[in-house]
Structure 1
Amino acid sequence: MLVRILGSVLAVAALAACQKMLSETTLRPLSTLAGTEWGPIDGPEDQFVAFKSGGEVLGSGGCNNFFGTFEQSGRLVTFGPLASTKMACPEPLMSAEQEFLSLLADVRAAEATWKELTLYGEDDQPLVTLRRRDWD
């Protein structure tokens, strides 16, 4: 009986330590966006942006796929021209997609942890906060 209680106490302590390490990891800043994928916290589930190595970016506006380039130097981030497929989708999906792509064009900086990415525009105004899609 004592062995079971001691084992349970040790298991709970180990889980608590793991949770603390996970919390600290999710708050640690990312130094690069390459290799990450993000989607809106409150938006169409199909919208996302994926940063690939070599400065490539791809994603979906919710209806059409897009691709292009991005540059990152520390906190500064800009997107090159983005090309996309041209499917027509019903409203409000088309408007949401246009808003998402316009937002990406306005990005000038970013701050990312392992779990969230905030994109900033001119004058360091926050544009949107995205959630990491491959982290859940």
Structure 2
Amino acid sequence: MMWVRIVGSLAVMAALAACQKVLNDAPKRPLATLAGTEWGPMQGELDQFIGFKTGGDVVGSGGCNNFFGSFSQNGRLVTFGPLASTKMACPPEIMDAEREFMTVLGNVRAIEATHLELTLFGDANQVLMVLRRRDWD
């Protein structure tokens, strides 16, 4: 009877160890789709972000103005439809940062995403920006 408990305990410990490895590897695994995720720059004091909704809609903030539009994803390739935004005025340094963020989004051609990071690539496969997942903590 004792050996049954020992074997049972070992089986449970092995299963828990396997589950822990899966959980630890989750942030490093490739993310199949952007739908349902939200991302922001890793540095910066502005609340800039982009959110990918199911159904192909995208929403976000450049730091001053909110924007919205559409996106499509085919593996690594991403295209954005026209993005529209509100037209509020903010201090020049915020408007400059917003313009830079929106320019990057306009130049995105491909992505690589894990559960924690989204890397945006341009036409020549150069890294434009690395974003961190906002809803992962």
TM-score normalized by the length of structure 2: 0.84
How large is the RMSD of aligned CA atoms in angstroms? Answer: 1.8
In the other structure, the counterpart of 1:31 is 32
> Taking structure 1 as reference, are residues 81 and 27 closer, same or farther at Cα in structure 2, changes over 3 Å only?
same
Partner of residue 113, structure 1: 114
Match of 1:126 in 2: 127
Alignment of 1:66-77 (within 5 A): 66-77=67-78
TM-score by length of 1: 0.84
Give the equivalent residue in structure 2 for 1:50: 51
> CA offset at residue 43 of structure 1?
2.0
Q: Any unmatched runs of 5+ in structure 1?
A: 1-13
After superposition, residues 5-16 of structure 1 pair within 5 angstroms as none
Structure 1 residue 45, shift from structure 2 partner: 3.9
- Looking at structure 2, the residues matched to 15 and 64 of structure 1 have their Cα atoms a distance apart, in angstroms, of 46
**1:44 CA displacement:** 3.2
Alignment-mate amino acid for residue 22 of structure 2: M
Give the corresponding residue for 2:85.
84
Larger radius of gyration: 2
Q: In the TM superposition, what whole-angstrom CA distance separates every residue of 1:93-117 from its partner, at most 9, and x where no partner exists?
A: 1000000001000000001000000
Poorly superposed stretches of 4+, deviation over 6 Å: 14-18
Gaps (5+ residues) in structure 2? 1-14
Percent of aligned pairs with the same amino acid: 68
Give SS of 1:78's match. strand
